[in-house]
Amino acid sequence: MEGAAVAEGLWGLADHHEKLGEIGKTIKCLEAICQSQISFFPLVEVKTRLRVSALLLRYSHNVNHAKSHLERSLLLLNSIPSSFDLKFRAYSLLSHCYHLLASLPLQRNLLFKALELASSVSQDVSAYLWSCNFNSQLANTFIIQADFPSSLAALESGFLAASHICFPELQMFFTASMLHVHIMQWTDDYSVEKAVQRCDEIWETISSDKTERCPGLFFYNEMLHVFYRLRLCDHKNAQHHVDRLDQAMNAHSHRMQEAQQLQDELSSLNHSLSRYDLPSRERSALSTRKSQLQDRLNALSPSSTTGNSLEPAFFGNADRSWTEKLLLSPSPIDGEWLPKSAIYALVHLMVIISGRPKGNFKECLERFECGMQIIQDELIKLGITDEVRESDFRHTDIWMSGVYLTLQMQFLENKVALELTRSEYVEAQEALVEMKNLLTRFPTILQASECVIEMLRGQYSHSVGCYNEAAFHCIEATTLTESKSMQATCQAFAAVSYLAIGDAESSAKALDLIGPLYGMTNSLSGVREEASILFAYGLLLMKQQDLQEARNRLAKGLQIAHTHLGNLQLVSQYLTLLGNLALCLHDTVQAREILRSSLTLAKKLSDIPTQLWVLSIFTSMYQQLGEKGSEMENEEHRKKKWDELQSRLDETRGSIHHIELVAKARLEMHQVEDAQEQSVAVSYGQSMQVNLDIPESVGVGGPSLAQSSSRLVGLDTGKRWGKRRLS
């Protein structure tokens, strides 16, 4: 009896401190029970340790301390035949600890034991919910190590458990998760398409009021549809889902602002109601108002705001209010795919990815500022300032901060591509330097970005006329990725740079790259790669004076660029080549029409090199036609653009960062010395590489400088270098 009284007293005191927000004192009260010399019943100690662990995970970074409490709890529970709910809760919390510490083998073994226990007890609703919880966490461990078949099996088991209790929101959670895995592994188009159809079918079974209670599920499902459509280069249908996401983000943001205002007003009312001298009539009016506010707040809140969760806690361990979460599924599972701020940033990123190829630069730049501000705010909250490096991270920081660092790289990647497109080379240079600095500070977390940075260094070098360096960086990029499609794209970029150099040796290198590439176009997964290869191949055929075959290949590439990619810069560059071809084939009427279209697009994009390229061809055409007046007017316009371009290039080359970016050398990175820390970061880097599987978004960088146009095309020399042709 003495032990029970002491426990009740300390629990009561802990409740008091927790209500006051004094978490440290709350934990001290509870740990006094665990450290006491008084003998307590095992269940008293177990419940106390579980509560301490939950508080440590929610309010601190002391994961190892929480882990010790949970391991002790499971030892005590082994001697108790029942108490299944406590056992399940201990398993779930301990699994979360192992997840934060990247102890994947321990986590997996623990979850297998938990699932075995869940299958051995009475199959009621609670058992099926716990089975859903454990299968969800198990699937996550497999995803981190790219074991996609095992992950799909775990998710399918979770789906069956949710089906047994007729829980459509949970069914949708597992169905969407399976679609995510299919997109990550993408073994064949049919499997992914079937997963998309299954998602659509399950989503239709959920009533609108239930979907509003799981806003994160809507964002997750729509974002996966965007990834799917972008991977297929189906930009039209992708845009539909991007628009839905953007509208939902704005609506959700407004609702959460209203909820925060209601909470602030409730807090003020509670303070007023706590006054002892408040007149009864005023107290009554305030109580009525409080009831109205509470009803409205309940209507805005998701299905669970109480913390009565089965603790999957996908990301981080920070305590955040429900207004800062986008829940994936209803209570008691809850959980998130990504934090709300990360999803908001991701929506802005999708708007950029869908709008940049179309030349919607103003909106893209606005979204860039919004997204980067969100990311910077979250990184500051996590204590990540300019001085922090990967070696400074706590284990528990890696998962959450890695989300925002990865997103930051994606934003900067698109920023570089956008600025290169509109000939703002200094802006592109600054964004690329920022990417480089991030990679050197966080080399393992951001390891997947090294390939993209090398590719962008190649595109930057090409844009400023450093073609040898451009080819070097694009070839280097191929050694930094296992993706065949990415390798093909980089090789095509390198071939274009070699062709821009113009000498026989470089042209032979281009041929060596393009030959194998053209032979494997049918085995590549996307039309994006095919468009870049056809561009380089068409350019090569023009060099070889095989004009009719070049026209056929370029026409096919143009159709792909226009129909599937919607990339106006690539369309403009294809049109320029085709206009030049038409002129060489003495079809001046068609040449004039094609070149005018190309020039219109290049002006829309502020693409000065392509404008110069087109204008130089117009000059040749007017000379052929003897239109002296048009020639002089065109040449005057070309010289103005030439001076503008030279001014921008001089400013770019005068920067201290220019030589560093174009130099034929790989980036030097600061490696993490702590082996365990590096293991956690590598695991994170692998998981984020697949979990944020955003399709490569940089368009084909075609020939860019006017002074190189004759060397790129080489039609007026009459010489044929090399004897090899591609069949």
Q: What is the DSSP letter of 423?
A: T
User: What is the residue extent of each domain of the chain?
Assistant: 340-713
User: What pLDDT, on the 0 to 100 scale, is given for residue 605?
Assistant: 94
d(C-alpha 69, C-alpha 61), whole Å: 14
Predicted local confidence at residue 509, as pLDDT: 93
Provide the token pair at 561: 């660029």
Given this model, what pLDDT does residue 465 score?
92
pLDDT of residue 344: 95
What is residue 83's predicted lDDT score, i.e. its pLDDT?
Answer: 87
Q: Which fold has domain 340-713?
A: 1.25.40
Structure tokens of 338?
């990504």
Q: What is the pLDDT of residue 523?
A: 58
Taken in order 241, 182, 128, 50, the sign of the CA dihedral is: negative
Question: 8 and 38 in contact (C-beta within 8 Å)?
Answer: no
**Average pLDDT by consecutive 10-residue portion of the chain (727 residues)?**
75 84 87 79 88 88 90 91 90 91 92 94 89 92 92 96 91 94 89 95 85 82 94 88 94 86 84 82 85 81 49 44 68 72 95 93 96 95 88 77 93 96 96 96 91 95 95 94 88 93 91 84 70 91 91 93 89 95 92 96 94 94 92 94 95 94 84 53 47 38 37 33 37
Q: What pLDDT is stored for residue 515 in this prediction?
A: 85
Quote the CA–CA distance of 324 and 320 in Å, as a whole number.
6
Furthest-apart CA atoms within the chain: distance in Å: 111
pTM of the entire predicted model = 0.86
The type of residue at 444 is T
Which of 497, 389, 500 is closest to 445 using CA atoms?
A: 389
Copy the structure tokens of residue 123.
């199959």
Percent of residues in the chain assigned helix, strand, coil, to nearest 5: 75, 0, 25
Residues 6+ apart with CB under 8 A from 509: 471, 495, 498
